[in-house]
Chain A
Amino acid sequence: MLGNMTLMEYLSGGRAVAGHRPWPRYVLDERGWLDLIQQLTVCDWTLLGLWADGNEVNAALRDEENAAIAVVSLGCQDRRFPSLAEVRPAAARLERSIRDLFGLIPEGLADSRPWLDHGRWPLSTPLAIVRGVPPMGPVVYPFLPVEGESLHQIAVGPVHAGVIEPGHFRFTCAGETVVRLEERLGYTHKGVESHMAGKTLAEAARLAGRISGDSTVAYAIAFARAAEAATGTEAPPRAHWMRALMAELERLANHILDFGAICNDAAFSFMLAQCTVLREQILAANALCFGHRLLMDKVIPGGVCVDVTREGTVTLRGLVKELRKRTRRLGNLYDDMPSLQDRTVGTGILHAALAHRFGAGGVVGRAASQAGDARKVPGYPPYDDLDFEVPVHPEGDVNARIWQRLDEIQVSLGLVEQILERMPGGPLHKPIPTRGGEGMALVEGFRGDILMWLRLSEVGRVVRCHPRDPSWFQWPLLEAAIEGNIVADFPLCNKSFNCSYSGVDL
């Protein structure tokens, strides 16, 4: 039955699970899963996420033709499931994580090395129905062999030189040129998914806001929306607008800092200093208007727990005006500096086809022609009521990722203004009924689309929660983008991707 058909047509004959919202979930048998793998070779269905739940594996897919979204599930026979990595390479690290955490074996996955499990935890397969025995001790991680003349290796991390998150980078170089970069992550693994289980919604929401602290608002919205979907609740209109207000402030703070930090990695520290000042103005305004500099715990399931006062509105309007003026000025300055662009133009090119293959979203994807933005597709309130464009750049280099951020800064400033102008009145919160169900959400953080999947028990506790950070589909692309560049340009490339460590280590 291979052929061009839509995702929904393909799944229509399958068994749909009741109570999975807002998108359907279909249970496949092993035959069906193998058929799906065949189908994926010919259809433009993007893998949005892949996670296990007990003995089941779930894959979320989006049909790029019509934006339909569905989850497909397979109950594993003998704790094995056919790997999707051959047809969707973005699945590889997710499958290695499933093997580490659940003990479910992805059959056909070429890479047999562990990913999150470094052999140090007091147990193995911590999320499996039957937990594994303690490991034998730290694993010696076999990096991929590289053969050739006069190659040398540079090992960096997990403790880096700057104030950044920990991870290991293994460079193989020919002279100054990087022949291969291999990432090894997992150092910040905190057992978030296992820790979520059994928590109340309020406790779990707090945790969700700490999966990647720089995206706390986006994660909290994703969790809240998943909880609301699972229980069939709709947050009040004003809550949606308040969420978007805080989400855009978070995006602004991060994009501005990233822009400065990328320039700083090309030794132009003036830009970082300027951007840090601007960012500080946002964080100070956050503290003043909402009571927390990073806006942690302000979005809760059912709504929000802060309001914006009249003085707050005035403060934020002033902030937007100031930011618009000064970010434009800094953008012009960047545009005016050939010596800086000499470092960024043509550096770390990510090809559009590869970005598409991995389903990369966010700045990384959009700076390589991928137009995806969860605020538009699938879309969620209040963005369907707001007037904004999603900028895209085709070049895929560091320069494009800088302009992508600069353009998105202007879009977000416009959004904040619209939101302040048109914010509806009414309540800020609606209680979440105590009931079971399954919910999923896609929310656009500053790095890209965050997927949150949640299953609640009848008494309203978390049974299973899986957060999928956008960086899962961006980290592997960094390995490709750096190839053929010089080692000295790695910080520049890395910063222009700015992937989350904590978000993917979980």
Chain B
Amino acid sequence: MSLARLLFRELLRGPRTIDGPLADPLGIEQLGIALGERVRERLGRSLRIREVDAGSCNGCELEIQAVNGPVYDLERFGIQFVASPRHADVLLVTGPVSINMSEALLRTYVATPSPKWVVAMGDCAVDGGCFAGSYAVLGGVHHALPVDLTIPGCPPTPEKLLSGLLALLDVAAEGGPAAIR
């Protein structure tokens, strides 16, 4: 099938939100809109996120990719993943912080301009998860960086990830420690 026909079909079909037989009960759309308004209040129109894998099993990355895709479509709310920490407002860290990644994580944090927030995503990033106690991990992002928000789950679902970012904005809006760092 030609690209033109496929594009035309998609156009007629409308956006690929996840209603239909596999609808999501939590209402991702609403969550996303609420998030967008707060983002705009706080940061104008946008929030930029730099993801750092600090030794994850790559399960968390899969769900980040899902949030980035057309079904959850984070970008329509002004939230975007960026390639460089120098362009980021938020570091989204996954994994129990393997000791071999700890310096790279720290350097990425230093390279991120203030104000900045650190989100620990996934059970591993929260407290080491099932890797806690190993000689090769720090056992949670808080051992390396000041953490503003934790999003537990193994891995957290895309809905949880979205609502987690919403909570981050609550903290930031109240002018908590995160806002002045």
Contact = CB atoms under 8 A, between A and B. Distances in A.
B41 interface: no
A277 B70 contact: yes
B21 A318 contact: yes
A147 to B, nearest CB: 29
B57 A189 contact: no
Interface in B58-73: 58-66, 68-71
Contacts of B96: 190
A163 B104 contact: no
Interface stretch (B32-40, B132-140, B142-150, B170-178): B132-140
A213 B58 contact: yes
A271 to B, nearest CB: 10
A120 B102 contact: yes
B166 interface: no
Interface string A282-297: 0111011000011010
Contacts of B99: 120-122, 189
B58 A501 contact: yes
Most buried by B among A203, A206, A277: A277
Contact of B98 (A159, A187, A270): A187
Interface in B83-127: 83-85, 95-96, 98-104, 108
B1 interface: yes
Contact of B70 (A273, A283, A296): A273
Interface in A284-340: 284-285, 287-288, 293-294, 296, 315, 318, 329, 332-333, 336-337
A213 B1 contact: no
B6 A329 contact: yes
A285 B24 CA distance: 11
Interface residues of A, number: 61
B180 interface: no
A451 interface: no
B109 to A, nearest CB: 11
A474 interface: no
Contact of B130 (A189, A207, A333, A502): A207
A190 B21 contact: no
Contact of B59 (A207, A210, A273): A210
A280 B18 contact: yes
Contacts of A164: 53, 61
A287 to B, nearest CB: 8
Nearest to B66: A280
A276 B53 contact: no
B59 A294 contact: yes
A15 interface: no
Interface of B: 1-3, 6-7, 16, 18, 21-22, 24, 51-66, 68-71, 81, 83-85, 95-96, 98-104, 108, 129-131, 133-137, 154-155, 157
15 contacts: A163-B61, A163-B64, A163-B65, A166-B52, A188-B53, A191-B135, A203-B130, A210-B57, A212-B57, A213-B59, A213-B61, A214-B58, A270-B6, A284-B18, A333-B3
8 tightest CB-CB pairs across the interface, nearest first? A213-B59, A276-B69, A191-B136, A161-B83, A191-B134, A213-B57, A284-B22, A210-B57
